[in-house]
Amino acid sequence: MQRVLRWFFIAGVLALSLPFLAGISPEVNAQSSGSIVGEVKYNGTPPAPKVIKVNKDNQACGNEKTSEELVVGANKGIQWAVVSVVGAKGPAPKPAQKPTLDQKGCHFQPHVLLAPVGVGIDILNSDGILHNIHTFSKANPSFNKAQPKFKKVITEKFDKPEVVKIRCDAHSWMSGWVVVQEHPFYAVSDANGSFKIDNVPPGKHKLELWHETLGKVAKDVEVKAGAPTKVTFELTKK
């Protein structure tokens, strides 16, 4: 009997240990986790997009630009809102390709770039004119670098989580954001205002939404294993 009990004990320990021995975290295992699926909506009548007159390099930049600081679709979905799980634990994702911020048509593409801590970001100059990359940050060192037309790529990285503002000193209307996180549980809303965060550990979580002009909003959610948790944020100008 003692041998049988000892065998069951050893088998149980091995069963619990195998995921860790294989390098698999039970918190992010697809079968034991859930997802957060949501929408970001504008409540009320959205303001008309700002139109910006271009005053230099018109051949590459055109004559006017539409500001991306508040982009609201036909369904009132808000683009470029970042939703993250507050206090989440887990390794920052290692993307198959470097996150890329392009300067094309004299605006940053994408307007909001998501990047893991410590991963190099390629900053491209597809316009063939002089740009100047200038970041504004507190947790990470800021940088201010000219990028002439012959310098197609500059690679930078951020080692601490932060929302980093980025501008081009050569073209005053050019602005964007790099959102740096140390865990994988965050997403940016698309043109329809939709977002999805996968492999979220089950349990109660606080979601925080950030938008550059509409501010921050928090919601409490409960995630269940193997199921999507649906969330809707409604925002308006204060």
> What is the residue extent of each domain of the chain?
1-28, 29-235
CA–CA separation, 80 and 227 (whole Å): 25
- Give the per-residue pLDDT at 30: 53
Residue with tokens 């094309």: 104
Identify whether the C-beta of residue 79 lies closer than 8 Å to the C-beta of residue 71: yes
CA–CA separation, 17 and 143 (whole Å): 45
Identify whether the C-beta of residue 76 lies closer than 8 Å to the C-beta of residue 46: yes
Residue 20 predicted with pLDDT over 50:
no
Instruction: Give Dmax over CA atoms of the chain in angstroms.
Output: 87
pLDDT tens digits, 79-116? 999 999 999 888 777 777 889 999 999 999 999 999 99
pLDDT tens digits, 175-189? 999 999 999 999 999
CA dihedral 143, 148, 71, 138 (to 10 degrees): 0
- Record the tokens describing residue 127, joined without a space: 């316009």
pLDDT tens digits, 58-70? 999 999 999 999 9
177 or 22, which is more confident: 177
**Percent of the chain having pLDDT more than 70?**
87
| DSSP classification of residue 75 | T
Q: If you average pLDDT over every residue of the chain, what do you get?
A: 88
- pTM comes to 0.85
| DSSP classification of residue 22 | T
pLDDT tens digits, 108-159? 999 999 999 999 999 999 999 999 999 999 999 999 999 999 999 999 999 9
Peptide bond preceding 110 in cis form (omega within 30 of 0): yes
Q: How confident is the model at residue 31 (pLDDT cuts 50, 70, 90)?
A: low
- Record the tokens describing residue 201, joined without a space: 């550990």
Query: CATH homologous superfamily of domain 29-235?
Result: Cupredoxins -  blue copper proteins (2.60.40.420)
